[in-house]
Chain A
Amino acid sequence: MTQPAVSVNATEERLAGLDMPAGGWSKPARHDALARVRAMGLPQRRDEYWKYTRPDTLVAATAPKAAVFDPRETPVFDGIDRLKIVFQDGVFDAAASDDLRESGVTIERLSEAQADIHWAADLYGRLETRGQTPVARPLAALNTAFASDGVLIRVSGACARPINLQYHHGAEHSDAMLHHVIKLEQGAALTLLENGPAAARFNKVMEVDVADGASFHHVRAQGRDHERRAVTHIFARLGAQSVFKSFTLTANGVLTRNECVIELTGDDAVAHVAGACVGDGDFHHDDTVFVTHDAVGCESRQVFKKVLRNGATGVFQGKILVKKDAQKTDGYQISQSLLLDGDSQFLAKPELEIYADDVACSHGSTSGAIDEDALFYLRSRGVPHGDATNLLTLAFLAEAVDEIENQALRDEILGRLSGWLERHSG
């Protein structure tokens, strides 16, 4: 398909400002990705999958300015025993990071793995390419071509403690592109934590290959910098009887687009993706989720909750695609928004595309204000209006937070959410 001239120009302008790392083993994948970016063109407003989110600032040649924000609170997950890997504006910070040697797991950095042969070569850009059909995700291909760093994690057993990727934002115009590859071998288990605002503009790709019987748990808290912009992608492939569970908390950020593309390729696999987001004022949050069932007896769940106020915008685009032979599929998807005032908006496109007959798939989407009856009940019990609103809001969000299996992590996230609500109430 030929691209309109305007898109070609925007794409070339963006590409002109980027340097492709030498790459070693990743070189072919990077060149392939660059060719794909040129063929697809970077996203434009009129692209169907960018209908509700303006891609302009994510595509622009330079990153718009984002003031560095001091959250004045201890970083998320600080109270949890974990292996910490720190990136400052997209650059690895050795001094702040822990020793990368850990039993049951090998961790390397993308920028350091320069040999010609590497296990990650089978995955780098591969899962991303698979995730490009039927919907093009040019920003992910751009990342594959130009990512400056990232981690390559290979888990062969059970990783003793969670791995925490921490992203710091220190420069007002930083433009970071990180690409992680995670491979869980048969029966392996890993919990991955991510937190922090990363940069003024952040483009991240994470490719996760979950082999048969392996389990991957992912909990992420995106940074609270008000002016930051982020587009993140998760591409996951699941083997038989494997488990993939991902939860994302988003508070603040002028623009966030989280894409999650999951392919269930082995029988009886389980994939849960959840998100809770709270936005106040100039806040645009977009969850775009695409789950493909390509095996028998798999289960998928998408639970997304958004609380919006003062003109904040929440977007949800979710799809469950059940291929012809994916019988006995159990697919579920819910997207709900709570609009705390008349200026905020919720835009949703929850889709089902089903080609197998013996399935049970459902989706639901609701939008509305706080339930007046419940509010009245709490107030009649002596709870002040603000507290009652916060209590009901937290209860609304809890359904998504409950998707986190680990109690300590769940409590940590709930604590952050109630802190945010207290700061933003009234």
Chain B
Amino acid sequence: MSVIDQPQLDETQVKDGVDQETVDAVREVGGAYKYGWSTDIEMEYAPKGLGPDIVRLISEKNDEPEWMTDWRLAAYDRWLEKTEPTWAMVEYPKIDFQDQYYYARPKSMEQKPKSLDEVDPKLLATYEKLGIPLKEQMILAGVEGAEDLTDAPRKVAVDAVFDSVSVGTTFQKELKAAGVIFCSISEAIRDYPDLVKKYLGSVVPVTDNYYATLNSAVFSDGSFVYVPPGVRCPMELSTYFRINAENTGQFERTLIIADKGSYVSYLEGCTAPQRDIAQLHAAVVEIIVEEDAEVKYSTVQNWYPGDENGKGGIYNFVTKRADCRGDRAKVMWTQVETGSAVTWKYPSCILRGNDSQGEFYSIAIANNMQQADTGTKMVHLGKRTKSRIVSKGISAGRAQNTYRGLVSMHPKAKESRNYTQCDSLLIGGNCGAHTVPYIEVKNNSSRVEHEATTSKVDDDQLFYCRSRGMDEEEAVALVVNGFCKDVLQALPMEFAMEAQQLVAISLEGSVG
């Protein structure tokens, strides 16, 4: 039987004696997390806890050269000296960093499968369930020759990361023809050490912050993209992150380099199973944008948010930064943050090149007991640099949603421009919406404008929708989607539709 014909959904085993029917029924109920199941795959773990041995082990498992092992160990030493940041408006029980697995991979991935028969069907079933196109799964599973089967009109190359390891990258051949390197970071360390050495840690230094330093020591895998000068990447690139194993921290590292005059659009999606115990996720994304290059980075973050009482969920501590090194470089961050119990994430732009541009579009939805502290940093260093921030925060249930951002105009960033708009919407009287912008202007030829509003869902709009026959939840979803329109429009097609639905799903159970 080929993988394609498999009745994928039934393959999934449900833990703790719960039958599939129950799971499905629960899933249909409003407010349920769609991706909350887990796959019972035989995993290989590194021992629990963190120490230099674990760091060495991770490095060894990834077949890394010595310089990489040393780099990690140096990061580990620095991490020991650092203290956990407490300034964000989020509260969570203290994380026991020794009570985590820092490395987990499907056992079947010990040796890369050569043909379909060798692929663990459960792994494929997982990705099918997550909605990743069927044909690509074969490629994800690393089956040689599978790439030729694909004839989808719009192609998206996918790198899928399952717990600690990248399980496969699609369309490698076609990308190679264009000169684009798109592979897992562990492969890149082996195959392109010069590029990795040159750029890794150059945007987010090893000692940048507590979680970035931790990531530098223990990152297990992630994606690597290099777009050579003048190349327009022929398709969207995408990474799909899935935390499956219990008590496992996921620490992925993404490095994107857009060389002179190139263009790439990158999509990132994440989900995790529903578990009672909170799980840690600390990723680092570094983007280097050279002269005249452009990078679009879009995220739909839908980690498991915990249940309505705040039990479980993912602690999402992410450092993302783009460095516009060349003149006229451009970077655009778009994020839809609907998941995670705790989000701590500030995708930033360093506008170093003259005339470079940074944009940040964000929708952050916090429902039930979720806490989100997210925003951006726009650091203007070059002349005539421009940045634009549009942030839409929606709070419902008992959630706390904070926008935290920095706009900094350095003395030399003459004639630069920033526009910031932060709007918050409150649904219900038990949630909170906060805005904490930092504005630092050190020259007078630059203009900085910041606007923020906080209000509730407009009763008149709701009433109008209700009078047209919509139920309250539909009406709220529609009004909220309208509120988010500016950001949704900035998303690539593939994500825009999904994001719209996600907005509605995330708010289920928040009215009435």
Contact = CB atoms under 8 A, between A and B. Distances in A.
Interface of A: 48, 324, 327, 337, 339-369
Contacts of A369: 444-445, 447
Nearest to B422: A352
B442 A351 contact: no
A361 B453 contact: yes
Nearest to A321: B434
B249 interface: no
Contacts of A366: 447-450
A339 B444 contact: yes
A346 B430 contact: no
Given A366-B448, A367-B447, A349 B442 contact: no
B270 interface: no
A349 B446 CA distance: 18
B435 A351 contact: yes
Contact of A352 (B429, B433, B456): B433
Given A352-B433, A362-B453, A368-B444, A342 B428 contact: no
A324 B434 contact: no
18 contacts: A346-B439, A346-B440, A347-B438, A347-B440, A350-B435, A351-B435, A351-B436, A351-B437, A352-B434, A352-B452, A353-B434, A354-B454, A356-B429, A357-B431, A359-B454, A362-B451, A363-B450, A369-B447
A103 B431 CA distance: 49
Given A48-B87, A349-B436, A357 B444 contact: no
Given A361-B454, A366-B450, A345 B435 contact: no
Contacts of A344: 444
Given A349-B436, A355-B432, 10 more contacts: A345-B440, A345-B443, A347-B440, A352-B433, A355-B431, A356-B429, A357-B426, A357-B427, A358-B456, A366-B448
B450 A365 contact: yes
A363 B411 contact: no
Nearest to A313: B442
B381 to A, nearest CB: 15
Contacts of A345: 440-443
A365 B456 contact: no
B434 A359 contact: no
A361 B411 CA distance: 32
B424 interface: yes
B436 A367 contact: no
A369 B447 CA distance: 7
A351 B434 contact: yes
B455 interface: yes
Given A354-B426, A369-B444, A359 B456 contact: yes
B448 to A, nearest CB: 5
A324 B440 CA distance: 31
Contacts of B454: 352, 354, 359-362
A388 to B, nearest CB: 17
A364 B451 contact: yes
A347 B441 contact: yes
Given A364-B452, A366-B448, A367-B447, A353 B441 contact: no
| 8 A-B pairs with least C-beta separation | A339-B444, A357-B426, A368-B447, A367-B441, A348-B439, A352-B435, A365-B450, A345-B442
B444 A341 contact: yes
Nearest to B433: A354
A89 B22 CA distance: 78
Nearest to A357: B426
Contacts of B434: 351-354
B439 A340 contact: no
Contacts of A337: 441
A345 B409 CA distance: 9
Best-surrounded residue of A340, A341, A361 (most CB of chain B within 10 A): A361
A352 B441 CA distance: 20
Contacts of A355: 431-432
A347 B431 CA distance: 30
Interface string B318-360: 0000000000000000000000000000000000000000000
Nearest to A350: B437
B444 A349 contact: no
A76 B427 CA distance: 50
A327 to B, nearest CB: 8
A346 B447 CA distance: 11
Nearest to A362: B453
Interface in B399-423: 409, 411, 414
A358 B455 CA distance: 7
A350 B441 contact: no
A307 to B, nearest CB: 11
Nearest to A341: B444
A346 B453 CA distance: 22
A351 B427 CA distance: 20
Contacts of B456: 357-359
Best-surrounded residue of A48, A357, A361 (most CB of chain B within 10 A): A357
A99 B111 CA distance: 95
B439 A349 contact: yes
A345 B446 CA distance: 11
Contacts of B439: 346-350, 365, 367
B437 A339 contact: no
A342 B437 contact: no
Contacts of B424: 352, 354
A352 B447 CA distance: 22
B442 to A, nearest CB: 4
A367 B448 contact: yes
Nearest to B409: A367
A339 B443 CA distance: 8
A345 B427 CA distance: 38
Contacts of B87: 48
B368 to A, nearest CB: 16
Nearest to A356: B429
A397 B438 CA distance: 23
B455 A360 contact: yes
A329 B424 CA distance: 15
B179 to A, nearest CB: 43
Contacts of B431: 355, 357
B455 A353 contact: no
Contacts of B438: 347-349
Interface in B439-478: 439-456
Given A339-B441, A341-B444, A359-B456, A350 B433 contact: no
Contact of A342 (B426, B430, B436, B444): B444
Nearest to B429: A357
A346 B418 CA distance: 14
Nearest to A351: B436
A357 B440 contact: no
A349 B432 CA distance: 19
B87 to A, nearest CB: 7
A364 B450 contact: yes
B147 to A, nearest CB: 51
A79 B450 CA distance: 40
Best-surrounded residue of A48, A337, A358, A363 (most CB of chain B within 10 A): A363
A327 B446 CA distance: 38
B455 A359 contact: yes
Best-surrounded residue of B411, B414, B453 (most CB of chain A within 10 A): B453
Contact of A354 (B414, B432, B441, B446): B432
A363 B424 CA distance: 12
A342 B452 contact: no
Contacts of B426: 354, 356-357, 359
Contacts of A367: 409, 439, 441, 446-448
Contacts of A348: 437-440, 450
Interface string B96-120: 0000000000000000000000000
B428 A365 contact: no
A347 B450 CA distance: 13
B450 A346 contact: no
